[in-house]
Homo-oligomer: A and B are copies of this chain.
Amino acid sequence: MITNQPSIILVNPQLGENIGMVARAMLNCGLTDLRIVNPRDGWPSDRANSASSGAFEYGVVPTLFNTTTDAVADLHFTYATTARPRVMVKDVYTPHAAMEKTHTQLNDGNKVGILFGAERTGLENIDIAMANAIITVPLNPDFSSLNLAQAVLLVAYEFMIHGDDTPDTQTHTGKTDLANRDMVMQFTDRLIQSLETKDFFKSAERRPTIERSLTNLFYRQNWTNQDVKTLHGILSAFIKD
């Protein structure tokens, strides 16, 4: 669990379902500090609990506030999320850049919060004015209205993957290991010899080209030990007759 993490602040959220889905998205990304300002349908909420898929039991701690001012009082830096350009002077960050900065801020011992507005209306101008900076997700400009939990997810995801050390690509081999080149070579040689007995190569002239194609066809794959065994079995079945 992340101990040094930004707070997610929902300002005047309407539907309990959405609060629950926000909690689920937060915990998917390891975040647990959920601050709820004046929720329309009250709190606690059965609908929130059932939409959360257990997020409140497994770690998300919801805290209720009457005003945004109360909810951010102990924080040192707040971001307001909004898709709409406002007539207001403020630094605008992508989620990626904002969460990169957030990691630095948290490491410096400062507390960071991210404000999300109500489902249909978004944040009020005064809430945006009181924030240090704005986060805007660079979405399809013709269809940019994100569901509340989706907006929280994207920001939480960017926080989580910043500094995540998962390799971009890895080959999952299950219970077996990748075959070494010698095993691949032995199989390919056996295949070529077997094809020779079947008169596959027709002319001696074209043979080097065909051999090279076959070699490339088999050598460029990521075979496992088990794969090569299976290939040998297939070959044995064909040359038996």
> Residue A205 at the B interface, CB < 8 A?
no
Number of interface residues of A (CB under 8 A): 59
Residues of B contacting A167 in the complex (Cβ-Cβ under 8 angstroms): 94
> Residue A233 at the B interface, CB < 8 A?
no
Residues of B contacting A87 in the complex (Cβ-Cβ under 8 angstroms): 174-175
Residues of B contacting A90 in the complex (Cβ-Cβ under 8 angstroms): 171-172
State the CA gap A90–B144 with chains docked (Å): 35
**Is the pair B93, A171 in contact by a Cβ cutoff of 8 Å?**
no
* B interface footprint on A53-90 (CB within 8 Å = 1, 0 otherwise): 11100110000000000000000000000000111111
Residues of B contacting A224 in the complex (Cβ-Cβ under 8 angstroms): 89
Q: Which of A41-49, A146-154, A183-191 lies on the face that meets chain B?
A: A146-154
Closest Cβ neighbor of A173 among chain B residues: B89
**Is the pair A96, B150 in contact by a Cβ cutoff of 8 Å?**
no
Residues of B contacting A15 in the complex (Cβ-Cβ under 8 angstroms): none
**Is the pair B176, A143 in contact by a Cβ cutoff of 8 Å?**
no
Known A27-B140, A58-B143; 12 more pairs at CB < 8 Å: A1-B140, A28-B146, A54-B143, A55-B143, A58-B142, A89-B172, A91-B171, A91-B222, A92-B171, A94-B161, A138-B161, A153-B153
3 closest Cβ pairs, A-B complex: A97-B168, A87-B174, A138-B166
